[in-house]
Structure 1
Amino acid sequence: MTDDLVNKEDVLKAYKVLRSVVKQTPLQHDAYLSQKYHANIFLKREDLQIVRSFKLRGAYYAISQLSEAETETGVTCASAGNHAQGVAYTCNHLGIKATIFMPSTTPSQKIDQVRYFGKEFVEIKLIGDTFDESNEAAHVYADEHNLTFIEPFNDRNVIAGQGTLAVEIHQDLVAEGETADMVFAAIGGGGLISGVSSYMKEAMPETKIIGVESLGAPGMKISLDANKVTTLTDIDKFCDGTAVATVGDLTFRHCQQNVDDILIVPEGQVCGTIIDLYTKQAIVAEPSGALSVSALEQYKDEIKGKTVVCIVSGGNNDINRMAEIDERALLYQGLKHYFIVNFPQRAGALKEFVNDILGGNDDITKFEYTKKVHRSEGPVLIGILLKNKDDIEGLLSRLEKFDPHYISVNENSKLYSFLI
């Protein structure tokens, strides 16, 4: 069935409601990325939205369409952070009470922002380790207290609201005398790409819509491949804004109808993109917000000479995560390695290791060793940072001569999580 799918007119109706509420975020030409990929690349800066993500659009429009009776009893929602901020801002703006469920793993920065935007109109409940667990609890609570549940993605009004950013993209491209060959958008539950594609496929039918998911939560890709909504049994919550185990049945149908391709991006690659956006362009993107830009690397041959729009969907990045982001980026790039190595328990062993095993550009970033009594050797946990990833072959060859039984911690995820 396609008669219940959002269309261009639905999005334009939402746009009329929202244009005096949300910020029309800039569509910026990015000289650095354009030069890097030999393409004409624009960034839709939803990280500069009032709540620093596109989620305000869908939340506000959905709540604005409720009846007076529904708003009087209040609303509830579940969110990993950005949808919650959109609901909180809306409820404070319209004077509506909201109970907001968030996973207990949500970064504190996002929780604090929900409190800031919602003020006295919002009560926060931290339930479950994942969005889906929090979502289930919120639905039960809504039923028990007769509250209207504001869906984060699987709702026509939410989808139409998210699609309003595509109207702005279209307007700005026309003003620049441009048209987009491709638009890249992140996928969590699918609300953003459903709204964007619903508008674009009618307003700019030649534009290809490319969805992007993280390797740890490729729910839409797996569902489309299976031709049915498929729940993931395990997800990586690093890209928390898109860490959804079950995509919506409505958003699934939108993607079946309108999305041309879906790319899967490893979390380590996303981390490199976050750092690149910050250091090269002074853009603070959260992991899910950087997915669209990160996917350009996989499509670098296809986008040459083309005009491309990447939606930077959110900028709610907790500064306390930057150490982890830097670490993941270095691991993905093959520059940082951890080993457990047996060292002889004698004077000069470390000096020998530094002189004979390390390369001239290698650096020790971690060294943990406790001398064992009455033993000839003892295990050392050592972290090594390479300047060039190709140097690893020589390092491993020399390391094997030093200790034939060394253990590569990088290759054992459980050991890495425990030790590092």
Structure 2
Amino acid sequence: MDLTLNYKTATTRLSGVINRTPLVYHPRLSEKYACHVYLKREDLQLVRSYKLRGAYNMVSSLSDDQLKRGVVCASAGNHAQGFAYSCNKLSVKGVVFMPEITPKQKVTQTTMFGNGQIEIVLVGDTFDDCLKEALAYTAANNMTFIPPFDDYRVIEGQGTVGVEILEDQPDIDIVVIPIGGGGLAAGVGNYLKSENPAIKILGVEPAGAPSMTEALKAEQPVTLSEINRFVDGAAVKRIGELTFPLCKEILEKVILVPEGKVCTNILKLYNEDAIVVEPAGALSVAALDFCKEDIKGKTVVCIISGGNNDIDRMAEIKELSLLYEGLKHYFIVRFPQRPGALKLFVNEVLGPHDDITRFEFIKKTERERGPALVGIELHKAEDYDALLSRMRQHRFDFKEVNTDQTLFEYLI
């Protein structure tokens, strides 16, 4: 199937339904990376992500009989919102399956966009878990399944992001696209390549969920046994069967970005640009540090895929950012049994700009003589070695918790 034949049709079908999101030049990023950086702001879409495009394009293409029987989807949140909006717009009954860990904000938004046309079922720990339940329900009730990425009509809908990019900025060299199941990269990448083969497509995945990376190594989709679910909009155990061959054909490379780096960029975009992005939405900008030489002197578009970030997650986002940047460290400290040891630690061990962010004795008995869990936030990452040196100099017995993953997960 030649998908390039249908992108214009999808654009027409979506006209009047979606927002045509802006392509915005970003001076700070452009200066930092010595290139011309534009942000495609899909966080400003009606449902605050690009997912509405694919969902509506597929649902609106169904037959009257299929629409009458109803539709089902499985989603980590953004596809669900686009699906719900489509059901309401077309007056179709829909059932949404979402993982139990889906942020409350996304559940609430999905309910709002559905406006009484949908039912929500929370099941499983990952997208892949709830997908199995959704497919079984679809078959049992003779309904139509609307996948989040693995259908040509969904891919075509997501590809309309590329149509808008090229219309707004014809002279682009590189497009950086987040990858979860691969629908956005497949659609946008194939459209852009069909219009201008010289455009390079860089895919970005969270380091903890490298489904496309592993599929490229194996030359076929593989199911990951474990994933880090933090970047929930892109944390997929298995890349799509349809999206994989399309992505394989057009991807220049896939960049893996640590979750902590994603968090740093969420905070930067919020604090410096007043842009609210979810973890998956920050992937493309977070990837720029890992492809500096590729983009130097080029015109680059980063797709900001979504802005559905639950405010309840901000404390976790800040913590992960500080840990990744080397600014937050945890220790188990056994204070010397001598008067003034704690005062000595505060006055002589901590640097002038260091701050104790957590302090608790671990033992329930002999609290004041037992080991303590101490969290320290540094002013600069380079101050860490000096902190360790001062602890040793003043004869404090300590263990670094950050370097012991099991201990860190247990205590922090």
TM bin, normalised by shorter chain, reads over 0.9
2:323 is aligned, of 324, 331, 334, to 331
Give the percent of matched residue pairs that are identical in Structure 1 and Structure 2.
52
Answering whether residue 239 of structure 2 is matched by residue 247 of structure 1, we say: yes
TM-score normalized by the length of structure 2:
0.97
1:307 is aligned, of 289, 294, 299, to 299
Pairwise CA distance, 1:405: 4.4
Mapped contact 1:107–1:318 kept (Cα < 8 A): yes
Between the aligned partners of 1:284 and 1:374, the Cα distance in structure 2 is: 46
Q: Tell which deviates more after alignment, 322-331 or 7-16.
A: 7-16
1:275 is aligned, of 267, 274, 294, to 267
Pairwise CA distance, 1:370: 6.6
Partner of residue 36, structure 1: 32
Pairwise CA distance, 1:377: 3.4
Answering whether residue 186 of structure 2 is matched by residue 215 of structure 1, we say: no
Answering whether residue 255 of structure 2 is matched by residue 263 of structure 1, we say: yes
Pairwise CA distance, 1:412: 2.1
Change (3 A) 1:96 1:371: closer
1:396 is aligned, of 388, 392, 398, to 388
2:121 is aligned, of 103, 120, 125, to 125
Change (3 A) 1:376 1:43: closer
> Which one-letter code corresponds to 2:342 in the other structure?
L
Between the aligned partners of 1:372 and 1:157, the Cα distance in structure 2 is: 60
> Does the residue aligned with 1:261 lie in a helix, a strand or coil?
strand
> Does the residue aligned with 1:356 lie in a helix, a strand or coil?
helix
Map residues 12-27 of structure 1 onto 2, 5 A cutoff.
12-27=8-23
Partner of residue 94, structure 1: 90
Q: 1:230-273, CA deviations, whole angstroms, 9 ceiling, x for partnerless residues?
A: 11100000000011001111100001111111100000000000
Between the aligned partners of 2:82 and 2:66, the Cα distance in structure 1 is: 18
2:281 is aligned, of 285, 289, 311, to 289
Change (3 A) 1:371 1:14: closer
Change (3 A) 1:264 1:371: closer
Q: Tell which deviates more after alignment, 255-264 or 123-132.
A: 255-264
Q: 1:118-177, CA deviations, whole angstroms, 9 ceiling, x for partnerless residues?
A: 021100000000000000110001011111000110100000000001000011014xxx
Answering whether residue 381 of structure 2 is matched by residue 385 of structure 1, we say: no
Answering whether residue 160 of structure 2 is matched by residue 164 of structure 1, we say: yes
> Does the residue aligned with 2:342 lie in a helix, a strand or coil?
helix
Mapped contact 2:334–2:396 kept (Cα < 8 A): no
Count matched residues.
Answer: 412
Change (3 A) 1:376 1:21: closer
Q: 1:318-343, CA deviations, whole angstroms, 9 ceiling, x for partnerless residues?
A: 01111111110010000110000001
Between the aligned partners of 1:228 and 1:211, the Cα distance in structure 2 is: 17
* Unpaired stretches in structure 1, ≥5 consecutive residues: none
Pairwise CA distance, 1:89: 0.2
Partner of residue 138, structure 2: 142
* Unpaired stretches in structure 2, ≥5 consecutive residues: none
Q: 1:363-393, CA deviations, whole angstroms, 9 ceiling, x for partnerless residues?
A: 1111112787679931011011111111111
Q: 1:259-289, CA deviations, whole angstroms, 9 ceiling, x for partnerless residues?
A: 1111000000000000011111110010001
Answering whether residue 59 of structure 2 is matched by residue 67 of structure 1, we say: no
Change (3 A) 1:131 1:35: same
Pairwise CA distance, 1:360: 2.0
Between the aligned partners of 1:379 and 1:21, the Cα distance in structure 2 is: 60
1:348 is aligned, of 340, 343, 351, to 340
Mapped contact 1:341–1:403 kept (Cα < 8 A): no
TM-score normalized by the length of structure 1:
0.95
> Which one-letter code corresponds to 1:320 in the other structure?
D
Pairwise CA distance, 1:415: 2.2
Mapped contact 1:344–1:376 kept (Cα < 8 A): no
Q: Tell which deviates more after alignment, 292-301 or 306-315.
A: 292-301
Answering whether residue 41 of structure 2 is matched by residue 45 of structure 1, we say: yes
Change (3 A) 1:162 1:375: closer
Between the aligned partners of 2:88 and 2:102, the Cα distance in structure 1 is: 21
Pairwise CA distance, 1:417: 2.5
Between the aligned partners of 2:198 and 2:294, the Cα distance in structure 1 is: 15
Map residues 401-412 of structure 1 onto 2, 5 A cutoff.
401-402=393-394, 405-412=397-404
Between the aligned partners of 1:313 and 1:403, the Cα distance in structure 2 is: 50
Q: CA RMSD for the aligned pairs?
A: 1.5
Partner of residue 105, structure 2: 109
Q: 1:285-333, CA deviations, whole angstroms, 9 ceiling, x for partnerless residues?
A: 1000110010001111221111000000000000111111111001000
Pairwise CA distance, 1:398: 2.1
Partner of residue 85, structure 1: 81
1:200 is aligned, of 185, 192, 199, to 192
Partner of residue 415, structure 1: 407
